[in-house]
Structure 1
Amino acid sequence: MRAVLCGFALGVFCLQQQAALPGALHWVIGAALLAVAIAFAVWAFKRRTRWLRHAGFCALVVSAVFAGFGYAAWRAEIRLRDALPVSWQGRDIELAGHIEGLPSRDANGTRFLFAVDTDEARRTTGIAHFPSTLQLAWIDRTGAPEALPVLAPGDRWRLTVRLKRPHGNANFGVRDPEAALLARNVRATGYVSAASAAKRLPGRASGVGLTIGRWRFALRARIGAVLDDAPHRGIVMALAVGAQDAVGAEDWLVMRNTGTSHLIAISGLHISLVAGLCAALAGGLWRRSCFLARVSRCEWPLIVPAQIVAAVAGVAFAAFYAALAGFNVPAQRALWMLAVVSAAFVSGRSVAPSLVLAWALGIVLLADPWAVVTPGFWLSFGAVAAILLVVHGHLRVRHEAPDWTEHDEPPASRVSRALAAMRRWLIRWRERLMSAARVQYAVTLGLAPLTAFWFSQIPLIGPFANAFAIPWVSVLATPAVLAGVVLPAPIDAWAFHAAHTLIEALIAALRTISGPQWAVWRLPQPSAWALAAAAAGVVWCLLPRGWPLRWAAPLTWLPLCLPPPAGPPAGTFRLTALDVGQGSSILIETARHALLFDTGPGPESTHAGERIVAPFLQANGVPVLDALVISHADSDHAGGAGAVLQAVRVRQLLGGLPPSNRLWDAARTAGADTLRCSAGQRWQWDGVEFAMLWPDPGPLPKVSNAQSCVLRVSAPGMSALLTGDVDAPSERVLVARARDALRAEVLVVPHHGSKSSSTEPFLDSIDPLVAVFQVGYLNRFHHPDRGVWARYEARGIDLTRSDRDGAVRIEASGGVLALERYRETHRRYWMD
Structure 2
Amino acid sequence: MRAVWCGFALGVVWLQQQASLPGRWSWFVLIASACGLSLVSSMGFRRGDAWPSRAGWFAVLCAAACCGFGYAAWRAQARLAYELPQAWEGRDIAVSGWVKGLPTRSADGTRFLFVVESADAPVERFPRTLQLSWIADDAPPPVLEPGSRWRLNVRLKRPHGNANWGVRDAEAVLLARDVRATGYVSASSSAVRLPGRASGVGVLIDGWRSAIRTRIADVLGDAPHMGIVVALAIGAQDLVSAADWLLMRRTGTSHLVAISGLHIGFVAGIAGWLIGTLWRHSFFIGRGLPLLVPAQKVAIAGGALFAAFHAALAGFNVPAQRALWMAGIVALAYVGGRRVAPSVVLAWALGLVLLVDPWAVVSAGFWLSFCAVGAILFAMSGAAHIARSRPSESLDDEQVERSLMKRCVDATRSQIGALIERMRSGARVQFAVTIALAPLTVCFFSQIPLIGPVANAFAIPWVSVFVTPAVIAGIALPAPLDALAFRFAHHLLDLLAAGLQLLSGPPWTVWQLPQPDAWAMACAAVGVAWCLAPAGWPLRWAAPLTWLPLLAPASTAPAEGAFRLTALDIGQGSSIVVETAHHTLLFDAGPGPESTHAGERIVVPYLQAAGIATLDTLIVSHADSDHSGGAPAVLEGIEVRQLLAGLPPDHALWREAAGKGAQTVRCAAGQRWQWDGVDFAILWPDAGPLQGKPNAHCCVLRVSTAGAAARGSRIQTHEDRRTAVVALLAADIEAPVERTLLAREPAALRAQILLVPHHGSKTSSTEPFLDSIEPSIAVFQVGYRNRFHHPYAGVYERYRARGIALSRSDDDGAARIEADGSGLSLERYRQTHRRYWMDP
Mapped pair 1:376 → 2:365: yes
Mapped pair 1:616 → 2:600: no
Pick the aligned partner of 2:125 from 129, 139, 145.
129
Partner of residue 113, structure 1: 113
Read off the aligned partner of 1:336 and give its amino acid letter. W
Which has the larger displacement, 707-716 or 51-60? Answer: 51-60
Mapped pair 1:632 → 2:622: yes
Contact 2:282 2:288 in 1 (8 A): no
Partner of residue 472, structure 2: 482
Separation in structure 2 between the aligned mates of residue 257 and residue 54 of structure 1, nearest angstrom:
45
Contact 2:725 2:820 in 1 (8 A): no
Residue 440 of structure 1 aligns to a residue whose secondary structure is helix
Give the Å deviation of 1:410.
4.3
Deviations 1:594-640 (A, max 9, x none): 10001111111111111111010011111111100001111111111
Partner of residue 327, structure 2: 338
Contact 2:563 2:820 in 1 (8 A): no
Mapped pair 1:207 → 2:200: yes
Partner of residue 363, structure 1: 352
Partner of residue 664, structure 1: 654
Pick the aligned partner of 1:289 from 282, 288, 291.
282
Contact 2:761 2:795 in 1 (8 A): yes
Separation in structure 2 between the aligned mates of residue 106 and residue 32 of structure 1, nearest angstrom:
53
Residue 137 of structure 1 aligns to a residue whose secondary structure is strand
**Mapping 1:383-782, distance limit 5 Å:** 383-403=372-392, 405-410=395-400, 412-563=402-553, 565-715=555-705, 716-782=723-789
Mapped pair 1:184 → 2:177: yes
Separation in structure 2 between the aligned mates of residue 227 and residue 564 of structure 1, nearest angstrom:
49
Give the Å deviation of 1:814.
5.0
Mapped pair 1:225 → 2:218: yes
Separation in structure 1 between the aligned mates of residue 58 and residue 421 of structure 2, nearest angstrom:
41
Contact 2:3 2:57 in 1 (8 A): no
Separation in structure 2 between the aligned mates of residue 564 and residue 767 of structure 1, nearest angstrom:
36
Read off the aligned partner of 1:22 and give its amino acid letter. P
Normalising by structure 2, we get a TM-score of 0.96
Partner of residue 85, structure 1: 85
Read off the aligned partner of 2:522 and give its amino acid letter. A
Separation in structure 2 between the aligned mates of residue 355 and residue 483 of structure 1, nearest angstrom:
34
Contact 1:596 1:628 in 2 (8 A): yes
Contact 1:254 1:511 in 2 (8 A): yes
Residue 680 of structure 1 aligns to a residue whose secondary structure is coil
Separation in structure 2 between the aligned mates of residue 49 and residue 458 of structure 1, nearest angstrom:
46
Contact 1:14 1:69 in 2 (8 A): yes
Separation in structure 1 between the aligned mates of residue 528 and residue 463 of structure 2, nearest angstrom:
27
Give the Å deviation of 1:168.
0.5
Partner of residue 76, structure 1: 76
Partner of residue 135, structure 2: 139
Separation in structure 2 between the aligned mates of residue 559 and residue 109 of structure 1, nearest angstrom:
46
Read off the aligned partner of 1:92 and give its amino acid letter. D
Separation in structure 1 between the aligned mates of residue 320 and residue 555 of structure 2, nearest angstrom:
37
Mapped pair 1:315 → 2:315: no
Deviations 1:366-389 (A, max 9, x none): 001111111000000011111111
Give the Å deviation of 1:718.
1.3
Separation in structure 2 between the aligned mates of residue 699 and residue 407 of structure 1, nearest angstrom:
102
Separation in structure 1 between the aligned mates of residue 554 and residue 202 of structure 2, nearest angstrom:
46
Separation in structure 2 between the aligned mates of residue 249 and residue 707 of structure 1, nearest angstrom:
33
Deviations 1:483-506 (A, max 9, x none): 110111121111110011111111
Normalising by structure 1, we get a TM-score of 0.97
Distance 1:714 1:411, change over 3 A: farther
Read off the aligned partner of 2:773 and give its amino acid letter. I
Give the Å deviation of 1:511.
1.2
Partner of residue 29, structure 1: 29
Contact 1:565 1:621 in 2 (8 A): no
Contact 2:280 2:289 in 1 (8 A): no
Contact 2:588 2:627 in 1 (8 A): yes
Consecutive unaligned residues of structure 2, counting only runs of 5 or more, are 706-722
Separation in structure 2 between the aligned mates of residue 52 and residue 659 of structure 1, nearest angstrom:
78
RMSD: 1.2
Separation in structure 1 between the aligned mates of residue 31 and residue 323 of structure 2, nearest angstrom:
33
Read off the aligned partner of 2:313 and give its amino acid letter. L
Separation in structure 2 between the aligned mates of residue 728 and residue 174 of structure 1, nearest angstrom:
35
Give the Å deviation of 1:300.
2.9
Consecutive unaligned residues of structure 1, counting only runs of 5 or more, are none
Separation in structure 2 between the aligned mates of residue 363 and residue 698 of structure 1, nearest angstrom:
67
Distance 1:407 1:711, change over 3 A: same
Give the Å deviation of 1:39.
2.0
Contact 1:524 1:564 in 2 (8 A): no
Pick the aligned partner of 1:802 from 805, 809, 814.
809
Mapped pair 1:305 → 2:294: yes
Partner of residue 713, structure 2: none
Separation in structure 1 between the aligned mates of residue 837 and residue 34 of structure 2, nearest angstrom:
25
Give the Å deviation of 1:38.
1.2
Give the Å deviation of 1:402.
4.4
Partner of residue 97, structure 1: 97
Separation in structure 2 between the aligned mates of residue 643 and residue 49 of structure 1, nearest angstrom:
63
Contact 1:448 1:458 in 2 (8 A): yes
Deviations 1:245-286 (A, max 9, x none): 000000000000000000000000000011001101111111
Separation in structure 1 between the aligned mates of residue 553 and residue 700 of structure 2, nearest angstrom:
32
Read off the aligned partner of 1:268 and give its amino acid letter. G
Separation in structure 2 between the aligned mates of residue 82 and residue 638 of structure 1, nearest angstrom:
38
Which has the larger displacement, 757-766 or 550-559? Answer: 757-766
Partner of residue 236, structure 1: 229
Deviations 1:647-702 (A, max 9, x none): 11111000001111111111111111010010110001111110001111000123
Separation in structure 1 between the aligned mates of residue 623 and residue 51 of structure 2, nearest angstrom:
71
Read off the aligned partner of 2:26 and give its amino acid letter. H
Give the Å deviation of 1:412.
3.9
Which has the larger displacement, 558-567 or 610-619? Answer: 558-567
Q: Percent of aligned positions with the same letter in both sequences?
A: 63
Partner of residue 6, structure 2: 6
Partner of residue 189, structure 2: 196
Residue 125 of structure 1 aligns to a residue whose secondary structure is coil
Residue 361 of structure 2 aligns to a residue whose secondary structure is helix
Contact 1:653 1:672 in 2 (8 A): yes
Give the Å deviation of 1:165.
0.5
Residue 398 of structure 2 aligns to a residue whose secondary structure is coil
Number of corresponding residues: 821
Contact 1:401 1:424 in 2 (8 A): no
Give the Å deviation of 1:737.
1.3
Pick the aligned partner of 1:169 from 162, 177, 180.
162
Separation in structure 1 between the aligned mates of residue 389 and residue 769 of structure 2, nearest angstrom:
88
Give the Å deviation of 1:564.
5.7
Give the Å deviation of 1:401.
4.1
Separation in structure 1 between the aligned mates of residue 294 and residue 30 of structure 2, nearest angstrom:
49
Deviations 1:773-807 (A, max 9, x none): 00000111111111111111121111110000000
